[in-house]
Structure formats: C-alpha cells, structure tokens
Amino acid sequence: MSRFLRGLTIVWVVLRYGLDELVLSGFSHPWLRRMRAVLTFGRRLDKPRGQRLREALEELGPIFVKFGQVLSTRSDLMPPDVAEELAKLQDRVPPFDSQIAVDTIERAFRKPLEQLFVQFERVPVASASIAQVHFALIRDAQGREREVAVKVLRPGMKTVIDKDLALMHMMAGWVERLSADGKRLKPRQVVAEFDNYLHDELDLVREASNAAQLRRNMQGLDLVLIPEIFWDFCRTEVMVMERMKGVPINQIERLREAGVDIPKLARDGVTIFFTQVFRDGFFHADMHPGNIMVSLEPQTFGRYISLDFGIVGTLTEFDKEYLAQNFTAFFRRDYKRVAELHIESGWVPPETRVNELEAAIRAVCEPYFDRPLAEISLGMVLMRLFQTSRRFQVEIQPQLVLLQKTLLNIEGLGRQLDPNLDLWSTAKPFLEKWMLEQMGPQRLWRELKAEAPRYAKLLPELPRLLYDFLGRKGQDEHKALQELIREQKRTNRLLQALLYGGMGFLLGLLAMRVLVQMLW
C-alpha cells in the first residue's frame, strides 16, 4: 500500500508540474502535439520548463534530486535553460529550519550549542538533498580556534528514501520479468547497489571516514585538497570538518580572471579521477560542480577542493586490472583485445565470435578518436553502445554502475571547463604508466617490500620448519611403505587362495574322470 501511495504521489507531482507536457513537447508528430494539448487543458503551466522540472524533483525527494544533479552536469544533453535550473540542485535545494539543525546537533552531543562551538552561523551556507552545511568556529585540542563546516542531516530522510527504493525494487522486478533484456540488464542488482550507496550516505560518520581515507590517498598528488575531519565532533547525524575556501568550479570566468589555467584544470581533473580509480580503487563518486571548488590561496593556487564524501566507489584488484586493460587496449585502438577481454571476463556469452564483436566495437569507437569533447555526441555514442550491447548480450555489471555514473560527471565537468579537451590523449599516458607499474618489475619489488616483515619473521624459523617437514615426510613415507606391504600381503593371500582353489578344482575334475572310466 505504501508503494502504491508513493506511486500516486509521483504521478500527481508529474501532472502538477506538467512534466508530461515537457516530454511531449520534444516530439513534432501532429497527433502527439494534439495529445499534449488535451492533457494540458485546464492546467496553468506558466513557469519556465526548467524551473518546473527543478521544483518537481525537489518535491519528490533526494533520489530524484540526485538524478537532477547528474543531468545538470550534462549541458550537452540538456537544453541550456534546463541545465542552468538543474544546477541549483547541486547546493541550493531549499534548506530546512535552522532550529531543527541546532536541535539535531544538541541531541547528538547531549550538550547545548554554546558548549560545542565558539561561534555558530545559523543561516546555512549550502543545502543539498541529504544535508545542509553551517559555518562555525571551534577550539581544538591545542586550544586553537579553527574555522569549520558543520554538516547536519536532513530530518526524516530514511523514511523518504526507503519508500522510493521500495518502489524502485518493485519496478526492477517487473522489468526483469517482463523485459526481453531483463536478465542481461540486471535491474534488481543495480537497484540493490544504489540502495547500499544511499543508505551509506545517511551515516555521516561513514562519510567522515571516507573523507579521511581520500585525504590520505591524495596527500602526495598535490592536485586536490581534502578537508581535515574533527572526530570529536562527528556523530551519525552531524559531521564537522575543516572549512575550505575556494571558488566553485562552475564559475569559470571568475577563475579565469583570477589567473587559473582552465585547460590544465580540466586535465588535472582527469588525472585525479584515474588516480583514485586505478591506483587506489577508492574514488569520489559524486563529483558534480556543487561538490568541487578551486583554491585561490597562494600556497595551493589552482588545486581542486573536494567536498561531500557520502558516496564513494570501490573496486577490487580484479576490476581495476580488467578495466585498465580495457582502457589501454581502447586507447591503442586494439579492438580485438577489447573483444577478447569481454569474452574472457564472461561479460558476453563464451560462444561469441571475436571478429564480429571486434568489428562492432570498432564501428562505435573509431569515429570519435582524436576529437575534442565539443565534437563528440555522447547521445549518439550511448545509443550505438546500447545497440551493440543488446546485439551481443553484454551483461550489465552492477558493481561498476557507480563508476559509469562518475564517468558521466567527469566528462560533463571536462566539457564545461575545456570543450577542446582530448579526453583520450590525457588519460592514455596515465593508464600506460599504471599498467607498467602493475605488470612490470615495480610491482614485484613493491610486493616483496610489503611481504618483507613476514619473511624476516619466517627466516629464523626456516631450519626448524624444514627439519619438521622432512621428518613428517619421512614418517609419511614410512606409513605409506607399511601400508603398501600390508596391501601386498593381502594380495598374496588372495592369489594363494585363487591358486589353491584352482588346483583343487582341477584335481576334482581329474578324479571324477578316473571314476567315470572305472565304472564304464
């Protein structure tokens, strides 16, 4: 019943904001235009279409807001007026009452606000689908005053998300049962992955630990800044981190006027992403412009500032190596190797012919090499990839859905920063270097260093272990010999019994023959 009511609510919001009219307006067929006129009769739809879409997504809740955030980064797929409105979903979702935020903080720490913060700004500086942020001042363990950002979870988020996810699980089950591509697309597994990420985002202690891990991973890169976490001020519903000062990355003209090298910024973004994915297997998976700033401080000028670590992606060593080999073969235009990797991994049926899959991949990818992002039609690429995957029964990999979403964000961000960015040539040297490190002598040396403490402990024990092994081996061989002797004795007794039985049988036949002759 709750899923049914939620479905009715979604339909009501769609009709109220005229989203059906937005869809039908994209078609020029006469009877569809007449249907649009009939469906919109009596409804006042005087607000701009982008505003209507944004307000509808805000009313529907956090899952729909996140969908709008992904769309907002793809100005190549969306009309400019719609993309501009959806960009407000990145950090300008209507805030909740500041007193609720204060009550949440005081309940989490069981202390009044004045005992926690030297100063607390009640007006939020940013508000998103899951939480909102307030600036504050704390005194750290050394007695120094530190500027911090306080993130407070929106009330009632779990209930709203659970209702939407229950509806998504139900619809995924329908798709899997009714669609011809249901088993290949694995909708239930994809929704289950999405379910995990969203519920993880509701725990701000988990988000704080994600930030701490990314901060450690990125320390030596000198391309990105991650805020410090103040663990004494972190709870499930509240997280306190270092206040970061910078310019939002989508304010490109302001950055350019400040002297930031925009093309380099675009290349650095690609490097950061591929480093997190292939070197660390732990990547920021919510990289829309609302979560990224650029530092203008003299010591860190031009560096990225990452925020909001509620959603991170992880990859196994197998996934990393498989993806890296695919990317490397792709950048080298070795389409045969790409096809072979798909078959080896089990992503396509084993009976698939390599040459046919190779030709299909070449037809999709070859037209887009050596082109800047501005000349690539992502919609056409996605459509042709979908057609190819359907033809060859390519199975969706749920564990990589988050990576694919992040790739869309990265490409959209790169398109905004530098439409002339050559994504392939920027990523190719990094991946080739990474593959050399993974497959070459550097990896062997790295693994030997990692195992050195265990080897150092094992080395003094080696003579005793060798003596014990040889002793056990001798005992085992003695036992085996004794068993062989016993088995040989059993065999000899059996042979003797057969021999004696055979001789007795022959003697019996001979005696019978002599007796018959005497009687005859």
Q: Which residue numbers are catalytic?
A: 286
Helix axes 401-417, 62-72, angle to 10 degrees: 40
Backbone angles phi, psi at 448, to 5 degrees: -65, -40
According to DSSP, the residues that pair with 314 across neighbouring strands are 282
Under a CB-based contact definition with an 8 Å cutoff, are residues 172 and 191 in contact?
yes
Alpha carbon distance 249, 409 (integer Å): 13
- Smallest CA-to-CA distance from 101 within 78, 126, 83 is with 126
Extract the tokens encoding 53. Answer: 């879409």
DSSP-assigned letters across all residues of 428-447: HHHHHHHHHHHHSHHHHHHH
Integer CA distances (angstroms), 273 to 195, 263, 285, 301, in order: 24, 16, 9, 19
CA dihedral 273, 277, 281, 287 (to 10 degrees): 40
Alpha carbon distance 438, 448 (integer Å): 13
Q: How many CB atoms lie within 10 A of CB 77?
A: 15
Q: Which residue has tokens 């085992």?
A: 476
End-to-end, the C-alpha distance of the chain in Å comes to 104
Residue 291, Cβ density class (10 Å: 0-12 exposed, 13-18 middle, ≥19 buried) = buried
> DSSP of 206-268, one letter per residue?
HHHHHHHHHHHHHTTT-SEE-PPB-GGG--SSEEEEE----EETT-HHHHHHTT--HHHHHHH
Question: C-alpha distances in angstroms, 353 versus 49, 196, 338, 359?
Answer: 47, 36, 13, 10
Burial of 449 (0-12, 13-18, 19+ CB in 10 A): exposed
- Give CA–CA dist 475/77, Å, rounded: 74
| Number of residues written out for the chain | 520
Q: Is 306 exposed, middle or buried (0-12, 13-18, 19+ CB in 10 A)?
A: buried
The secondary structure of 157-198, three-state, reads: HHHHHHHHHHHHHHHHHHHHHHCCCHHHHCHHHHHHHHHHHH
